[in-house]
Structure formats: structure tokens, C-alpha cells
């Protein structure tokens, strides 16, 4: 039975991947392709943050590591002349190293205190890019003319080509995080998030695994920032504000933190709405916040728990229907 279930999961995965690669053949609009590209990028960000939340730590500074990856990749390609394929993993590596430096002292904090540290770090990063090293980082105007990736001397420039690139990056990220979650490390992270004191009492080095989750999640955020920089070819500090971190956190919470499917569902559902919410201007955060409140109040396990709720409601309705049919008619 286990082999059959595993075979079914593999078939579903292959079918889904095939569908993802066939989608551009049915979609000609660059606008919708752009939405799908940003949705896949948000999935990478949400899944990487989900791993950090899996360890029981609340981070609201994910945009900082995305910004570090974006600026690093842009400078490596423009100032040193490295190719995108080298600058992207190096951007992720630098984000991971900085996460290690920040995380080692701050991950001893818990709950809201760690969240405040990540928020402060994100603001410091944005201020540095905005006010210091203007000759290097471009100040408030940022960096323009970031080169597009090229493969075998062929420049990647069309939306379709960027779509396939981000899909490959998304699949690689999800496979790695899924393998981590299904391993002993994943079980330990769940144990730490549920009862870290108990986990520590049985000999688990909780700091080691919290740092591992934080560094790994920050690495993929840096890689996502690298792709983002070379996709839009212009970056500035205003693209990595506090609200970016909040939106990524909302993707995870709305989708559900119980499995890696949660951030995928949350990012897919809200990324499409995000484009519509742009018409609200300054009221966009309010609309997003109200949406989050509605989901949290009525679906505390996130969108991922909606099918089970519908199924339970249907079964309960069916039972009541059978019960009423079996009752003798009243006199």
C-alpha cells in the first residue's frame, strides 16, 4: 500500500510538472506570464520562510535577505563581470552567511523578541542600501541596467524564457525543502517548534537546528532576490520594504504552516489577488490585512485545510440526511 501511495504521488508530481511546462503554450499574454513568474517567485520566498517558521521562529525580515541577494548578484555581474549562473548561488551564499552571523546570537531569543530583531535587521539593510555607499548601491535610485541572464551566448529576455527559469528554480527549491522536511531534520524542527525545552532535555541541540533552518531559508531568499534583480533589471531599496516581508509571511499563514503545500497554495492564491489589490493604492495593506483576518478567523489551519473541512461538512450532512430518512413519520 505504501508503494502504491508513493507511486501515485510521483505520478501526480510528474503530471503537475508537465502542466507547468505546457502552460506558456496556452497563454500568449505577457501580463499573465508576468503574474505566473511573480507567483513562482513568491512560492520560493514563502517556502523558504516556511522552513524558518517550521523551527518555531517568527521572522519578519525576509525581504532583507532577498535584497542582499539582489544587490549582490547585480554588483557581481556589473562590477566584476561574473555570469548570472555564478552570481546567483554566490548571492544566496552571502545571504546565508549574513543569516548565520545574525542568527547565532539572536536565535536564542524566542517569539516576538526574535521577530523584532529580524524587523530591525531588515530596516538596517534598507537604510544601508538607501543612504550609505551611494556610489556602490545607487542610493534611493538604486541600480539600473542589470544585465539579463544568458545561456550559451543567448540572452534570456522573453517572458516565456524567464517563466521556465523561475519554474526550474521553484522546483529545485521545493524539492530540497521537501527532502529536508521529510528527513530527521524536519522531524526535529517540528519537535522544537512544539516543545523546544522538551527537545533540549532529550539531547537535541536546538540552536544547531534553528540556525540550520534560518540559514537555509535565507539562502533561498537570496537566490530569489538574484532572479528578481535580473528579471526586472532595476532594483532600489523601496522594492524591499517591511511590507514585502509581511506579504511573504501572509502567504505562509494563509496557505497553512502544516505542510510545504501551505506556502504554495497561499502564494498562488494571493499573488493573483495582489495584482488586483494594487488598484487600492495606499489602502492595499488594509485590504490584505482584512483578508488575512478573515482567513485566520474562519480557517485557522489555512487554505490547505479547506478540503478536509468541506469533506467533514459533507459527511456530517450525509449522516443527518440518512438519520432523518430512517426516522419514523411523526403522528
Taking only the tens place, the pLDDT of each residue in 150-160 is: 887 778 889 99
pLDDT score of 285 more than 80: no
Pick the CATH number of 2-326 from 1.10.3470, 1.10.3110, 1.20.120, 1.10.8: 1.10.3470
pLDDT score of 251 more than 80: yes
Kindly state the cell numbers that stand for 256.
497553512
Q: Identify which has the larger pLDDT, 196 or 102.
A: 102
Q: At 74, which helix (H) or strand (E)?
A: helix 62-75
Q: Tell me how far apart the alpha carbons of residues 36 and 28 are, in angstroms, rounded to a whole number.
A: 12
% the chain with pLDDT above 70: 86
The answer to whether 72 and 86 are in contact (CB under 8 A) is no
Question: What's the chain's length in residues?
Answer: 331
Summary mean pLDDT of the chain: 86
Question: If pLDDT is split at 50, 70 and 90, which confidence band does 189 have?
Answer: very high
Q: How far is CA 93 from CA 20, 209, 244, in A?
A: 28, 18, 21
| Local structure of residue 146 (DSSP, 8 states) | P
pLDDT in tens, 106-133: 988 877 889 999 999 999 999 999 988 7
- Boundaries of every domain in the chain: 2-326
Arithmetic mean of pLDDT, 78-100: 96
Arithmetic mean of pLDDT, 62-86: 96
Q: Tell me how far apart the alpha carbons of residues 263 and 260 are, in angstroms, rounded to a whole number.
A: 6
pLDDT in tens, 3-45: 777 777 778 778 888 888 888 888 888 988 999 999 999 999 9
Q: What is the pLDDT of residue 305?
A: 67
The answer to whether 87 and 226 are in contact (CB under 8 A) is yes
pLDDT in tens, 62-71: 999 999 999 9
Question: If pLDDT is split at 50, 70 and 90, which confidence band does 194 have?
Answer: confident
The answer to whether 302 and 266 are in contact (CB under 8 A) is yes
Q: What is the pLDDT of residue 16?
A: 85
In the block, residue with C-alpha cell 522544537: 192
Q: What is the pLDDT of residue 185?
A: 93
Q: Tell me how far apart the alpha carbons of residues 35 and 40 are, in angstroms, rounded to a whole number.
A: 9
Q: Tell me how far apart the alpha carbons of residues 48 and 56 are, in angstroms, rounded to a whole number.
A: 14
Which residues make Cβ contacts (< 8 Å) with residue 222, sequence separation at least 6?
A: 65, 66, 68, 69, 72, 91, 92, 93, 94, 95, 96
Q: What is the pLDDT of residue 2?
A: 67
Q: What is the pTM of this model?
A: 0.88
Largest CA distance in the chain: 91
Q: What is the pLDDT of residue 148?
A: 93
Smallest Cα–Cα separation from 66: which of 132, 121, 117? 121
Which residues make Cβ contacts (< 8 Å) with residue 298, sequence separation at least 6?
A: none
Q: Tell me how far apart the alpha carbons of residues 86 and 164 are, in angstroms, rounded to a whole number.
A: 18
Amino acid at each position: 500500500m505504501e508503494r502504491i501511495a508513493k507511486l501515485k504521488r510521483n505520478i501526480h508530481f510528474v503530471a503537475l510538472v508537465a502542466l507547468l511546462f505546457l502552460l506558456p503554450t496556452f497563454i500568449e499574454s505577457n501580463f499573465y506570464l508576468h503574474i505566473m513568474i511573480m507567483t513562482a517567485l513568491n512560492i520560493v520566498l514563502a517556502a523558504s520562510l516556511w522552513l524558518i517558521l517550521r523551527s518555531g521562529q517568527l521572522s519578519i525580515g525576509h525581504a532583507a535577505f532577498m535584497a542582499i541577494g539582489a544587490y549582490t548578484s547585480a554588483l557581481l555581474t556589473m562590477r566584476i563581470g561574473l555570469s548570472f549562473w555564478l552570481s546567483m548561488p554566490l548571492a544566496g551564499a552571502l545571504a546565508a552567511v549574513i543569516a548565520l552571523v545574525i542568527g547565532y546570537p539572536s536565535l536564542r531569543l524566542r517569539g516576538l523578541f526574535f521577530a523584532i530583531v529580524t524587523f530591525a535587521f531588515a530596516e538596517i539593510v534598507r537604510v544601508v542600501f538607501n543612504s550609505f555607499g551611494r556610489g556602490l548601491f545607487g542610493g534611493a535610485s538604486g541600480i539600473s541596467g542589470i544585465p539579463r541572464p544568458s545561456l550559451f551566448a543567448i540572452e534570456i529576455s522573453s517572458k516565456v524564457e524567464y517563466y521556465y527559469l523561475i519554474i526550474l528554480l521553484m522546483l529545485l527549491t521545493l524539492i530540497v525543502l521537501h527532502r529536508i522536511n521529510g528527513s530527521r531534520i524536519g522531524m526535529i524542527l517540528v519537535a522544537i517548534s512544539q516543545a523546544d525545552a522538551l527537545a533540549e532535555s532529550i539531547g537535541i541541540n536546538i540552536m544547531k537546528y534553528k540556525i540550520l533552518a534560518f540559514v537555509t531559508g535565507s539562502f533561498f531568499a537570496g537566490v530569489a532576490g538574484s532572479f528578481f534583480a535580473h528579471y526586472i533589471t532595476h532594483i532600489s531599496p523601496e522594492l524591499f520594504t517591511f511590507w514585502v516581508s509581511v506579504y511573504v509571511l501572509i502567504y505562509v499563514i494563509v496557505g497553512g504552516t502544516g505542510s510545504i503545500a501551505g506556502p504554495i497554495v497561499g502564494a498562488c492564491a494571493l499573488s493573483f489577488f495582489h495584482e488586483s489589490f494594487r488598484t487600492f493604492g495606499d489602502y492595499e495593506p488594509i485590504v490584505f490585512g482584512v483578508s488575512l483576518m478573515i482567513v485566520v478567523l474562519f480557517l485557522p489551519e489555512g487554505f490547505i485545510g479547506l478540503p478536509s473541512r468541506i469533506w467533514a461538512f459533507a459527511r456530517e450532512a450525509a449522516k443527518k440526511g440518512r438519520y432523518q430518512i430512517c426516522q419514523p413519520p411523526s403522528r
